[in-house]
Every structure is written in structure tokens, then in C-alpha cells.
Amino acid sequence: MSLPASELYAQLLDKARWSHANGRNVFHILQTDVDAARLFSYAYRSQAIGTFHATRVAIDAEENGTTVPYVKTCLAQARTLLDQLEAKAGEALPRDFRALISTLYYYDHWVNQVADVLEKASLRGTNSKLEIIRRRFVQNIETVSSGNGIYVGRDLVLPEQGAFIVPNLGISIVPVIYGDYHSWNAAFLAADQVGVSVHRHHKGAEIHLGFSPVKGRTILGDNYAEVSEGYAMAIPPMTDHGFFNTSGHDHIVPFVFGSLTMTGWGIFFDVEPRSNPSIERREHSLDSPAMNHSIFLERAIQRARTQTTVTREVLIPAERAGSHEIGGLELAVNRSHGETDLSTSHYRIVSVQSGKGRVRIGAAHAEVGEHDHFGVPAGLACTLTQLGDDPLVFLDAMILPIG
């Protein structure tokens, strides 16, 4: 089967297939093709530990109950392909013709094969869950293949078959945007969950973000702060951290993870639980040195809304959330008037907090609003233009070298 595809996506893949059929000839590939291929490839990368991993886990859960040999063979093939798709996210994404004839070509080839073998398995088997798994997979991938390259993620809902459970922590996480060496994610805490268990990362840094309504205790090292309004907390590597949800309602904890020595999803394997009930932590104010000068985030966003000129205020400098070895995460709040240039030499992740705008990356454009997230690949021209009268305010995050 062929997944639904936009005209641009289909044209790109036609060029890639022609190249493979003609000795990898690349002289017909233009810079605009490379730019579009990079955008689509980053969109697929954002499915690595979401759709790809979750689909493989769903297949694993159903395979043991299957007795039809042909179905078992199909599911084994799908699992292998999904494993390849996950691993693809660990590769550097080229900035030349290889982005099309290698990266995007294989993403497309493998996702279509997954959809095809799952369809065959559901038709030959008696397990109705296989068709549900296939349908959810196709729906998630269609958001990439039917678009124009600009992938817009949202953090409000837990997508079907698009999340994963963090090993040893037991919390559901959705990758929203996955860049080169950092990612913007959302952890979903049900009302009956205590929160995010205390843990640390050996080779990764984080920034935890809290948005109202929030009520809980955020932990950093041997210290904690009670929070009842939006905040941003920088977490260097090898630092214990966690969050206890005392609000009594479901809560989303967005967070940025990054490491220049790993990919943006190092969190998947670089997690060490650190729960120790005997530790007596000390309470401090949120913005104290003991809490690494955490930020009252919603206050900063409100300040940006009142600005009358284009501004970019760095809330968390890279040195505060990182190390010389792994680099550091920088978080900034922006107020956009008219057209704002977001082009950069580092992959930038943008999270719109208020207002509406039109983002243009290369030749592609899309309208975005509150709760929308998108990524800007390094080296691509990008502008964000305010639409309407409401203030356009957004956060952006990058991982930068330190020292």
C-alpha cells in the first residue's frame, strides 16, 4: 500500500526513486529539494520514540497470542522495520542530496513497508487489534507524508500509539519535536499519579517547564520548591530532579532534553532512578541559587506580551543547564512584531505561547498558534510573521557548546 502523500512529498520521493534506479544520479536534485527533504526527515525523526517505538511495543503485546505462521512472519518483519526506523533517528541528518536519496528515501520506504505488512497481517489474522494498530500507525505517519514539510506538534493531548513509558519511571512521555541533539517533550501525569519520580541523567541536561494550573513540589538535588504558578527549572547532568503533583488533577510537564554527546532522545536510555525516602530535602524559594535560579515562566511570558518592539530575552543561559562535555540548553522568550527572522546555525525548537503567526521555512509555510511547536533546522531561512492583533509570544530552545 502507499501512504497518503502531498504533491510535494510525492514529487520528492519520485526524484529519490529515480536516483536509486539510475546509479544514484543526483544532478536533477535542487537545493529546494534538499531543504524540503530535510524538513520531512526531521518530521519523521519526531516519530522515532513516539509512533515507531509505540507501534513496536503494541506489536510485541499481540504477537505472542498469534498462532497463524504467516501473521507471525508479518509481525516479525514489521518489528524489524520499526527498529530500523527508530535507529535512523540516531544518525546525523545530511545537509546535501543525501537528505533526500538516503534519509527521506529510507524513512518513506520503511514506513510504507510497515503499513503494508500490518495490513497483510490484519487481513489474514483473526485479531482485530492488529487493524487498530495499523490504522493508528497510518494516521500518525500521514501527518508527515501529507504535509509540506513543516511538522507542527502539540502538547495538549496524549496521541494514540504515539507515546512511550520511560524505563524505571513509569510515566508516559510524548516527543513533540526532535531536533539534532535536543528535543521538546511532554510528560503526562494522571491525577492519581504521585508525579515524576526522582532521577538523574549521566550525559544529558533538561529544562522542566510548568504551566498553570500547577500545584506541586519540584525537586533539584537535595532541595525543593513549592510551585503554584508557571516555572522553568534548569537541570545539569548528574543532578537529581523530579516533580510531585499535588494538584489533584491531570497535569502535563513539558521538558526539553539535550546532549551534544548523544541524540535528542538520550533520555530513553540515560535514566537512573534516584528515589531515596531517607533523604531530607530543604525547601527554598524557586528563584534561589539552591534551585539553580529557576524562572517564574508565566511572569516572563506576560512581560513579553507587553513589549512594543521585537525582543528576545534569554531566560536560562546554556551554562545553567549543561556542562562543557555535553553543551547547554538555552531557553528564551520572544515577542514578535511583523516579521521575525528565526534562522540560526543551531537547530531551534519553537513553542508558541500566545497569538497567531505564519512560519516560513525555506519554501514551505504554515500557520501556528498557542500550544503549537515546530523546529527550525540549522542553516535554513526561517521567518515568523504575526497574524492579527493579539501579541505573538513564543519560547525557543537550542543546545549550544559551552566554553
> Domains of the chain, with CATH numbers?
7-148 (1.20.120), 164-296 (2.60.120.10), 298-400 (2.60.120.10)
* CA dihedral (106, 184, 96, 27) positive or negative: positive
Burial class (CB in 10 A: 0-12, 13-18, 19+), 338: exposed
Backbone angles phi, psi at 312, to 5 degrees: -140, 110
Per-residue pLDDT at 49: 79
Asked whether 41 and 107 are in contact (CB, 8 A), the reply is yes
How is residue 94 annotated by DSSP? P
Report pLDDT digits (tens) over 186-237.
988 777 777 778 889 999 999 999 998 889 999 999 999 999 999 999 999 9
Backbone angles phi, psi at 222, to 5 degrees: -95, 15
How is residue 92 annotated by DSSP? P
Helix (H, G, I), strand (E, B) or coil at 391: coil
Beta bridge partners of 322: 328
- Placement of cell 504551566 in the chain: 211
Cα 223–Cα 227–Cα 233 angle in degrees, nearest 5: 60
| CB-based contacts of 131-136 (< 8 A; 24+ apart in sequence) | 133/55, 133/58, 133/59, 133/62, 133/161, 136/55, 136/160, 136/161
pLDDT in tens, the chain (403 residues): 578 999 999 999 999 999 999 999 999 999 999 999 999 999 999 998 789 999 999 999 887 777 788 999 999 999 999 999 999 988 899 999 999 999 999 999 999 999 999 999 988 877 789 999 999 999 999 999 999 999 999 887 767 888 887 776 777 888 899 999 999 999 887 777 777 788 899 999 999 999 988 899 999 999 999 999 999 999 999 999 999 888 878 788 899 999 999 876 766 678 888 876 667 899 999 999 999 999 999 999 999 999 888 889 999 999 999 999 999 999 999 999 889 999 999 999 999 999 999 999 999 999 999 999 999 999 999 999 999 999 999 999 999 999 8
